[in-house]
Structure 1
Amino acid sequence: MSVVCVGSLTAPGRGGLARSGIGMSLQTVLTSLTRGGLGSTWGRVTSLAVSRRRCSNISGPTEIHVQRLQGENSGIATVLMSRPHARNSLGNVFVKQLEEAIEDLHQDKSLRVVLFKSQVKGIFCAGADLKERAEMSNTEVGHFVHKLRSLMSNIELLPMPTIAAIDGYALGGGLELALACDLRVAASSAKMGLIEVTRGLLPGAGGSQRLPRVVGIGMAKELIFTGRRIDGKQAMSIGLVNDTVAQNDLGDAAYQKALDLAKEILPQGPVALRMAKQAMNKGIEVDISSGMAIEEMCYAQVIPTRDRLEGMAAFKEKRLPHFTGE
């Protein structure tokens, strides 16, 4: 029995930290951007959902671990997934520990990039734990899938850029987890697919909504209707992943490439990164004129920052900027 101290999630509506761009009026979006100044909507959304701290007892080994890198890579965190006996499938303990890890990441203002990596060779995440699922009642299945959907939305709502390093199978809920990240890097040998229809189901943790937004509605329908599995090269050709690399002997080529990408992001202005992410995530859900208004409001929050002044000074003095997130 391991004891993990976490903050409880009190959902502001059925979706918990639900994706805040969908189904919201432009006025609601703009209001959320302007209230509280530089604190940003991300911080306020988190504060709404995290109401108190508590300690929970979780049976079983640690399946999720967050590694915060040090030294010149300080500001990068890696979420390590380790459930080897079940191919990192989304079981109760795995999901609970991932929920708690994501909540902690939401509150860590020192982080600039978060990566998701498997510690199981050849596997990213195999999707649903069908053995656990078979023992659930219909009602329990519905509740659990709702929890998964909220978890993926919480990953998407992380304020800093996120990268999924797909070094192996990412099927069903595993691919839905990767889709909730901002960027995806895959080994060329990795296998990906929303295969739920082959089990008489449909993607239930956001896949039916996020995949069309990434690859287009026609390609998404083809992949979901057929339950097709594709490799890293095919995934890159349709825009499902940002980059693909040949696998190495250690089985972590995608992670190494994702880490290189994270290092490119790391020195950039953290406030600017968070506002840029917010502008894109919210703007993509509305018409372009409304999106321009969202961009303007996000830009307005960057203007009074010390980081903006540092960027201008560094340009004038012909040196690299040193951003502090203020």
Structure 2
Amino acid sequence: MAAALRAVRLEVVQDGIALIRMINGDNKWNMPFLNEFGKALDEVERNEDIRCVIFTGQEKFFSYGLDLPWIARQTKETNKRFLFENDAIIDRVALFPMPTIAAMNGHAFGMGAILALACDYRVMRKGRGWFCLPETKIKLTFSPITLELIRLKLHRVQTLRDAAIFSKRYTAEEALRADIIDEAVDENQVMEAAIRYGNEIAGEILDRGCVSAAKDKLYGVPIRAKRDAQLQSMTEKDKNDRIEGFIRGAQFLASKM
């Protein structure tokens, strides 16, 4: 199995272990990126021999988050659809029916950090790269889905406070101490460690249905409850104001880049 797209590359690195590598420079999220990422996930799910999937980036970037200049150029309707698809990808990774591992080769900011949190395991490179949720510092807000995922994955109250509210930047060593990641390794050991996790976790074939059901009970149910509660409390004006605020924020930030 191999698929070469402009933003991601899909390959099998060992029997039963798929690798989705983001290859678009700093790997910022826009609609073309989400479309390709979704197609890669589709192909992994179609292959019944795959037992585990690893996500990684290239050079010094795992993923640098939202593509703000792209967002700033889009219409309100396009951005509305983009935000929906953005949440859908994160939800899909969080509930993926097999073990998922983030091989964090470099910077993981914003949606890149949230993608890593959506995975079951996280291995991060020492020496270069930050883990950071910068939303409050750049005047953007989390969606109900991403905020609930962050709450579920960052177990320590202090870590949740510092990361989600005050946008602390974590080195690999700091992220390990804060229980954000599972292992901090040297640059040349990131992929080796991720594959080791894959072999240990999925050494025996796990039933995809059971894995998916367990993840849904742990993550899917509370995420949907939070999303539905917020949506029910929002008027159409509230929803429009959120989209327009998101676009204004992206336009302002893009103008400073």
TM-score (norm. length: structure 2): 0.76
In the alignment, structure 1 residue 146 sits paired with structure 2 residue 87: no
Stretches (4+) displaced over 6 A: 284-287
- CA offset digits 1:175-212 (Å, max 9, x no partner): 11111111111112331111111221123384311122
CA 269–122 in structure 1, closer or farther in 2 if over 3 Å, else same: same
Q: Indicate the SS of the match to 2:165.
A: helix
- CA offset digits 1:104-135 (Å, max 9, x no partner): 222322110100011x2010000001110111
Amino acid at match of 2:191: Y
CA distance in 1, matches of 2:209, 2:132: 29
In percent, how many aligned pairs have the same letter?
Answer: 23
CA distance in 1, matches of 2:121, 2:197: 10
CA 243–163 in structure 1, closer or farther in 2 if over 3 Å, else same: same
Taking the TM superposition and a 5 Å limit, the aligned residue runs for 1:123-162 are 123-162=61-100
Q: Indicate the SS of the match to 1:111.
A: coil
Taking the TM superposition and a 5 Å limit, the aligned residue runs for 1:43-192 are 62-69=6-13, 73-84=14-25, 87-118=26-57, 120-189=58-127, 190-192=129-131
Return 5+ residue gaps in structure 2 as ranges: 223-257
CA 125–111 in structure 1, closer or farther in 2 if over 3 Å, else same: same
Give the match for residue 234 of structure 2.
none
Q: 1:197 aligns with which of 136, 152, 157?
A: 136
Give the match for residue 243 of structure 1.
183
CA 238–278 in structure 1, closer or farther in 2 if over 3 Å, else same: farther
**Structure whose residues are more often helix by fraction:** 2
In the alignment, structure 1 residue 275 sits paired with structure 2 residue 210: yes
Measure how far apart 1:247 and its partner are.
2.4
CA 284–195 in structure 1, closer or farther in 2 if over 3 Å, else same: closer
Return 5+ residue gaps in structure 1 as ranges: 1-5, 7-60, 288-326
CA distance in 2, matches of 1:243, 1:76: 19
CA distance in 2, matches of 1:283, 1:121: 33
CA distance in 1, matches of 2:140, 2:214: 34
Q: Indicate the SS of the match to 2:131.
A: strand
Measure how far apart 1:143 and its partner are.
2.3
Amino acid at match of 1:62: R
Higher Cα radius of gyration: 1
Amino acid at match of 2:134: I
Q: Indicate the SS of the match to 2:88.
A: helix
Measure how far apart 1:284 and its partner are.
6.2
TM-score (norm. length: structure 1): 0.61
User: Matched residue pairs, number?
Assistant: 217
Kindly indicate whether structure 1 or structure 2 has the higher relative contact order, using CA contacts under 8 Å at least 6 residues apart: 2
8 Å Cα contact 2:12/2:18 also seen in 1: yes
What's the Cα RMSD here? 2.4
Q: Indicate the SS of the match to 1:110.
A: coil
CA distance in 2, matches of 1:148, 1:221: 24
Give the match for residue 261 of structure 1.
197
